[in-house]
Structure 1
């Protein structure tokens, strides 16, 4: 069996631990301790996050999309494939090393998406970016941490609590879409989405798409022009 080789490591801001980038032949893995956060062989649910989220804003002129978390680039690549040439995509990535990995050892995996003229990379916390904007995006796609029950940073909870969801609602344009990836179901999060004024749908997807794999969950939540404002 081919052994894993560690290529790099990166500290997560805010005492979130350390990420390790590993490679085995043509396969990549990003680890947090003993937990595998991402694997290059398993892209189906991240791609579904983008395709299902962007499908709900299809046909909009100059659509603006915010992606929380670059990871291995599967969500970004699928979003670019689903969006028109006049769209704009902001990718917020907290850890600069993840961007370096995308341009370095995992460049072939990203397929030049970071150089697409529609893409802007924001190095920083996606939650802070959301809180700073009002009616700026048609869709917000969150593939941050492990979902509402995070592993890497306690501060990620502020994305998924009621105040964070209301901030996301305020950052969306009328009938905008908040799409959230998770490794597992969370009934309490579904209730919070609805309390924050979203019409929320929970969708089960497979880690490897049509080829199966672990079951993951997406929430597709549509904002209302009359929904609650951020507090």
Structure 2
């Protein structure tokens, strides 16, 4: 049996400690006992980007914000769907995750970090949301609509945070939120914030695996 090897650790500002682990060709990022992501399970992260792109259509000059770099599956899927004039900003609050992307996990990211359409923001996604004028905002910074990685993220999922996201979207824009499990209260909050809500089940891999939830909330 191949044992896991610890490749690195990093503190989440205002939160816990991330650990980057490798077992053979498989990588995982852990927060305490919670596995935030695994290199074998990219299906729902890719669906987050692909279905968001499908919903906003092929409008020119798309501006997309992705909250959380992770292993880069969402970013790569978005770049594959979007045109040459698109701009994709990725907000990542943990500098080490960006370093891992350029080092130990470079093979997963491919050329996405050097793609001229990509802008990496080392900072809080809430500040990036406030820049405004987004066609799509994709949030995968926790394992669901609560501040798992850092308590400060709770504000993203409350009514005030959802109102800020809605104000930052262009007409017809989409807020997409990834979750490991359903949450009826959060779906209700999205509706209360004025979004048209579509809840989608996405599998962990292209062939099946665990069931994750993505909310696609459209600004009318």
* TM-score normalised by L of structure 2: 0.98
Partner Cα distance (1:83, 1:133) in 2 = 21
Alpha-carbon distance, 1:57 to partner:
1.5
Partner Cα distance (1:149, 1:208) in 2 = 24
Equivalent position of 1:216 in the other structure: 212
Aligned residues of 1:177 and 1:223 also touching (Cα < 8 A): yes
Alpha-carbon distance, 1:150 to partner:
3.4
Equivalent position of 1:6 in the other structure: 6
Equivalent position of 2:142 in the other structure: 145
| Aligned pairs, number | 220
Structure with more strand by fraction = 2
Gaps of 5+ in 1: 225-231
Partner Cα distance (1:215, 1:47) in 2 = 14
SS in 1 for 2:85: coil
Aligned residues of 1:58 and 1:83 also touching (Cα < 8 A): no
- 2:168 matched to 1:171? yes
Partner Cα distance (1:138, 1:129) in 2 = 13
Equivalent position of 1:72 in the other structure: 71
Equivalent position of 1:205 in the other structure: 202
Equivalent position of 1:31 in the other structure: 30
Partner Cα distance (2:57, 2:79) in 1 = 12
Instruction: Please identify runs of 4+ aligned residues in structure 1 that moved more than 2 A.
Output: none
- 2:127 matched to 1:128? yes
Equivalent position of 1:229 in the other structure: none
Aligned residues of 2:48 and 2:138 also touching (Cα < 8 A): yes
Equivalent position of 1:111 in the other structure: 110
Deviations, residues 38-72 of structure 1 (Å, cap 9, x unaligned) = 10000000000000001111220000000000000
Gaps of 5+ in 2: none
1:158 aligns with one of 140, 155, 168 = 155
Alpha-carbon distance, 1:149 to partner:
2.8
* TM-score normalised by L of structure 1: 0.93
Aligned residues of 1:53 and 1:139 also touching (Cα < 8 A): yes
